[in-house]
Amino acid sequence: MDIAVVVNLSARKGSPHFASWAQAQLPKARVVATRSLDELHRFVDETSRKGPPRLVLSGGGDGTAIALLDALRAREVAFPAFGLLPLGTGNGWAISTKAPKPRAALAQVASMVEQGVVHPPTSDYWLVEVEGRLTPFAGTGWDAELLHDYKLQRAAFPKRLAWLAEGFTGYMASIFGRTIPRNLVRKDRPRVRVVNLGEPAMRVAADGRLEPVPGGEAGAVLYDGPYGVAGAGTTTDLGFGFKGLHLARHVPGRMHVRVYAATAGQATLHLPKLWRGFHPLPDSHDFLLTHCRMEFDREVPVEVGGDVIGLRRQVEYRLHEQIVPVVDWTRVAA
């Protein structure tokens, strides 16, 4: 099996040592450690000239995976089997694929190679296109604010104590120390208008049945009102096991578009259910769509795959036609 491994040295758990260990586990693989987007693009260029590998292992966070896929698409290279090694911070997409710890994942791949496996087991993933970028999730609201707060918190800590502001502990400290308190006192809540631009809208009823949204054809306004979080995605998890888009894998070829309209106080009371992806949840407006536009009453920060791309008055989410075969780690382990 022809394998390439990319290790992002800027990722939270990325390191030259891990890259060396990966090469030792998979001696015939093409292993590269990158620190910049330019280095990543050079690797993709070289890989494309030699012929695309059958399996690419992305060692980093959601941003690393997105950058790899965008680079492959820009060079019109068919997506190979794509395995996610959770070396980042939130690792939302990797968690959705049931990825084990990075070293365990490499050991499982090495075992497949020893057994002569040619085609690793995969599951199909659609992605969302946002302003030309492919991503498993994107949105605005508290999640974008939280990402910003998390980065500010990490930057404020002395280097010797940086570990206190990172990972799940840092994530929770940002939520309860910055994001929620700020929104509890906010009186002028932002508003969003969701317009369907694609196939007729679908939704999931309380009993789990899939049903059409009445009047949900192309051009229909599906929601118009205040929000705390408004986003879309094709993967259930947004990081640290938070199932913010719990219906994303419910129907192939559809993305989960969600507007959560509760106040910060109400969201705090429902946080355990929010975290587990409980359905239905009061004040949650959930749709299964192929294309939509969100229009805001002010400029708001928008995040794509965990990176804030800037302020927008509107943003479109479109399901991309290319399918990514993503390694199914549950079947690999079996």
- Look at 147-151, 152-156, 164-168 and tell me which has the smallest mean pLDDT: 164-168
Q: What is the pLDDT of residues 313-333, one digit of tens each?
A: 999 999 999 999 999 999 998
Highest mean pLDDT among 38-52, 86-100, 173-187: 86-100
Distance CA 171, CA 167 (A): 6
- Domain boundaries of the chain, sorted by first residue: 3-120, 135-319
Distance CA 102, CA 93 (A): 14
The CATH code for residues 3-120 is: 3.40.50.10330
Q: How confident is residue 24, by pLDDT bands cut at 50, 70 and 90?
A: very high
* Alpha carbon distance, N-terminus to C-terminus of the chain: 19
Highest mean pLDDT among 87-91, 187-191, 243-247: 243-247
Token pair 């659609």 in the structure block, residue:
126
State both tokens at 227. Answer: 């929000």
Q: How confident is residue 239, by pLDDT bands cut at 50, 70 and 90?
A: confident
Q: What is the DSSP letter of 263?
A: -
Indicate the helix (H) or strand (E) that contains 204.
strand 202-204
CA 21 to chain centre: 26
Q: How confident is residue 162, by pLDDT bands cut at 50, 70 and 90?
A: low
Strand, coil or helix: 330? helix
Q: Among 3.90.550.10, 1.10.1060.10, 2.60.200.40, 3.75.10.10, what is the CATH number of 135-319?
A: 2.60.200.40
